[in-house]
Amino acid sequence: MALKKQKSAEAVATPVLGVRIRAAEPADLPGVMAMDQRITGVAKASYWQWALAHYAGGTADRTFLIAEAPDGALAGFIIGEVRAWEFGAPPVGWVFAIQVDQTLRLGGVGTQLFDTLLARFRAAGVDRVRTLVDRRDHLILSFFRSQGMTAGPSLQLDLELDHEPGSAGVPPASGESPAFARHERARGPRSQGSQS
C-alpha cells in the first residue's frame, strides 16, 4: 500500500511564500524552545536539547525539520521518526512534534513541514504514518485531519501511578496483589453490608 495523503478542502488561506524547509541545526535550539514555550506555556529546555541531539543530523530514520521564513525567522518545526512498534508490527513513520508560529498558521507552513516529512518517510520505505494527540487539542486534531489522517487501529490505555499501599512498588497492607488493590480502589467505597 502506498503512503498517500488526502487533504481536506475545508481551510483556505493565503500561503506563506518563500518558506524554506531544512534540517534543524544547533543554532535553531533557542528559537524552537522559545516558540514551544510561547505556544504551550511550558519551558522544556532539557527536552528540546535532547530532541535536537537525538533527531537533528542523525540517522536516516530520524528527522527534525525547520521551516524558515524569508527573513530567516523560525516559522515552525516538525520531528518524526521511522520505527517498528510493538508486537512485530512493520516500521511506520511517527510524528512526535509539530509547531507553527501562531502568526503564520493557515498559511501552509504546517502542510509544507508535514509533506517534507512524508517524503522522508516514503524514502525510508514506510507506507503508514502515525501520531498520538490529546483528544482535547482540537487545533492539532484539525490540522492532522486536514492532512488526511484518521483514527487508527490502536487505542491508548493509561494508568496513573501513585504511591499508596497496593500501588506499584508499595505492597498492599492486606497482602492482596497490587492488581486487586487497584481494582478495589477503582470501584470506590462500598456501603456496609454490600455484596459484590
Report the C-alpha gap between 191 and 160 in whole angstroms: 26
CB burial readout 51-66, b (16+ within 10 A) else e? bbeebbeeeebbbbbb
pLDDT, residue 56, reads 82
Report the C-alpha gap between 26 and 81 in whole angstroms: 19
CATH of domain 20-146: 3.40.630.30
Q: Which residue has the cell 488526511?
A: 148
Tens-digit pLDDT profile for residues 162-186: 776 655 555 555 555 555 565 566 6
Q: How many CB atoms lie within 10 A of CB 36?
A: 20
Give the residues of the chain that fall short of pLDDT 50. 1, 6-14, 191-196
pTM value? 0.73
Report the C-alpha gap between 21 and 106 in whole angstroms: 17
First to last CA, the chain: 50
What are the residue ranges spanned by the domains of the chain?
Answer: 20-146, 159-189
Cβ 45 vs Cβ 67: under 8 Å: no
pLDDT, residue 11, reads 42
Cβ 64 vs Cβ 70: under 8 Å: no
Tens-digit pLDDT profile for residues 60-86: 788 899 999 888 888 899 999 998 876
- At 100, list the grid cell: 507553527
